[in-house]
Amino acid sequence: MPGPYADNSTEPMLELLRDVPDADLSKLKTVEESTDTIAPGRFARPDWCFIDGEHTYRAALRDARFCRTVMQGAGIIAFHDFHIIERAILDFLRETPCPRRGYLLLHSVFVVELGVIDSPLGDPLVRGQLTPRGRIMDWLRGFDTLLLATDLRRRVRNHPG
């Protein structure tokens, strides 16, 4: 991968994940391709997608749309580096029918729940990752999305994690 991501590859990311206690990496599928070249039917329907790549508006929005398609409208999409790709997340929320819930976790990970799913918020480990004064927005729509963005932007600037 050219540019600032030249040193980023699957193996160093997997090495970091191997340090996570009780992580079951057998469930993880990695693909070293762009979502604009992958046929959505190539994979079984995932429950979770994690978007962490180029950190550009175009790439983040493209990847989120791909995830929504392969999830068939129901699942969880987590975006890394919310503060960099916030505009792409907002545009994705505006064009997505019935996003259920959104919230910011520590380390600048913004989670969007789509459709009818079992929310990870019932897990104490996930709840423990909510940002201080964490705000969960149910039924994201229109103006609420803009308020959410303003609120989260302020939190990210004031939070060291």
The pLDDT value given to residue 139: 46
Q: What is the mean pLDDT of residues 25-38?
A: 85
Other Cβ atoms within 10 Å of 139 Cβ, number? 10
Using alpha carbons, list the distances in angstroms from residue 14 to 10, 19, 44: 6, 9, 21
**Structure-model confidence comparison of residues 6 and 34, the more confident one:** 34
Residue ranges per domain, the chain? 45-158
**% of the chain residues with pLDDT over 90:** 20
**Structure-model confidence comparison of residues 6 and 117, the more confident one:** 117
pLDDT band with cut points at 50, 70 and 90 for residue 30: confident
The pLDDT value given to residue 49: 92
Question: Using one digit for the tens of pLDDT, what is the confidence trace for 104-134?
Answer: 888 888 899 998 778 888 888 888 888 765 5
* Lowest-confidence region among 2-11, 40-49, 62-71: 2-11
| 3-state class percentages of the chain: helix first, strand second, coil last, to nearest 5 | 45, 15, 40
The one-letter code for the residue type at 113 is E
What contacts 24+ positions apart, CB below 8 Å, involve 41-44?
A: 43/70
Question: Using one digit for the tens of pLDDT, what is the confidence trace for 63-92?
Answer: 999 999 999 989 999 999 888 998 898 889
Please report where in the chains the tokens 């909510």 appear, as a residue. 130
